Amino acid sequence: MNDTAVPMISVRGLGKSFGGHRVLQGIDLDVRRGEVLTLIGPSGSGKTTVLRCMNFLEAYDEGEVRIRGALLGYRRGPDGRLLPESERIVAEVREPVAMVFQQFNLWPHMTALGNVMAPLTLAKRMPPERAQKLAMAALARVGMADRAGQRPGSLSGGQQQRVGIARALAASPEVLLLDEPTSALDPELVDEVLEVIKSLSRDGMTMVMVTHEMSFAAEVSDRIVFMERGRLVAQGTPDSIVYRPQNERVRAFLQPWVRRSLAGRAEPASINPAP
């Protein structure tokens, strides 16, 4: 599964400030083909900002983000400085990356099918018949094919988010970015979305996810990254980060979750303090 070729996404020395406030500092990260990478950490740790820098929804100030080796958002000037790149080139570079949003961001005046087709017909200029086939396939993949003709207004939150995932999948992306995909959902609707994400990971989809669902993150991820105050503090397998946290700060962060898990469910055997 590990590719010795160029990583899907490569982040080097990433830095970002909002106004005077430093949000990201010195982030180094690689996302390899087929792996599921999850970013966790407290609010304000910058994990969502890292995600949004990966498809240039936020312009980073320092460092580099490369998608399959190609520099994203900038080009190197003759003196080596970063110069802003044209919109067209940026769109080309980030084409293999698709995003799923916390607030779904569906277009309310279009049907579910319309939402999934729009990026294909508008951005990729695909003929409608072909776009419709791909869109229906994507909707079927997330279990929403029977509601293709309904508008977001008549769908539940979980259904809307699944349409959002279908919309991201329809363009056959190589990497899926998921920004807290279940945070805006009522608790009983969370599972249906997590199931879809799980099945995508089983199919080998490369994913970078920001989430607060710790059990899910531990279950589905190949690698978990813990961030705090704009810096990457620890990374490793689910075992070394969530189940047997070796880093003191990670342990402190997970403490409330551990307490709640122990109170309600039969997972105590997996939660051991580091020796």
Partner 1 sequence: MNAPTLLERLAGYLPLLAHGAATTLLVSLVAIAAGFVLGAALLGLSRSRARLAAGAAAAYVSFFRGTPLLVQLLMLFYLPSAMGLELPPLAAAMLAMTLNSAAFQCEILRAGLASIPAGQIEAAASFGIARRQVFRHIELPQIARAVWPAVVSEAIDVVKNSAIVSVIAVADLARVGRQLVASTYRPLEVFMAVGVVYLVMTAAIFALGSWLGARMGGGRAGARRIVEQAAGGQP
CA distance 133 to 167: 13
Site string for partner 1, 123-142 (x = CB under 8 A): xx------------------
Task: Identify the burial level of 97 via C-beta atoms within 10 angstroms of its C-beta, where 0-12 means exposed, 13-18 middle and 19 or more buried.
Answer: buried
The CA-to-CA distance between both ends of the chain, in Å, stands at 31
Contact 204, 210 (CB under 8 A): no
Which has the closest alpha carbon to 194: 169, 166, 161, 223?
161
Which of 114/238 has CB closer to partner 1? 114
d(CA 253, CA 47): 14
Give the residues across from 18 on adjacent strands: 21
Does the footprint of partner 1 cover residue 107 (CB under 8 A)? yes
Task: Find the shortest distance in angstroms from Cβ 169 to partner 1.
Answer: 12
- Using alpha carbons only, what angle is made at residue 208 by residues 203 and 214, rounded to the nearest 5 degrees? 95
Bridge-based pairing of strands 9-18 and 62-67 is antiparallel
Q: Is 255 in the site for partner 1 (CB under 8 A)?
A: no
Q: Is 106 in the site for partner 1 (CB under 8 A)?
A: yes
Angle in degrees, 0-180, between the axes of helices 157-170 and 128-141, rounded to the nearest 10: 130
Q: With binding defined as CB under 8 A, does residue 109 bind partner 1?
A: yes
Q: Should residue 55 be labelled a site residue for partner 1 when binding is judged by CB under 8 A?
A: yes
The answer to whether 94 contacts partner 1 (rule: CB under 8 A) is: yes
Interaction between residue 54 and partner 1 (CB under 8 A) = no
Does residue 98 touch partner 1 according to CB under 8 A? yes
Q: Kindly indicate which of the ranges 90-98, 140-148, 196-204, 216-224 contains the residues binding partner 1, using the contact rule CB under 8 A.
A: 90-98
- The least distance separating partner 1 from the CB of residue 240, rounded to whole angstroms, comes to 33
Stretch that binds partner 1, among 17-25, 97-105, 193-201, 226-234 (CB under 8 A): 97-105
Among 65, 135, 171, 190, contact with partner 1 (rule: CB under 8 A): 171
Q: Decide if residue 59 touches partner 1 (CB under 8 A).
A: no
64 binds partner 1 (CB under 8 A): no
Burial of 220 (0-12, 13-18, 19+ CB in 10 A): buried
Taking CB under 8 A as the rule, does residue 57 contact partner 1?
yes
Binding site for partner 1 (CB under 8 A): 55, 57, 91, 94-95, 98-99, 101, 103, 105-109, 118-119, 122-124, 167, 171
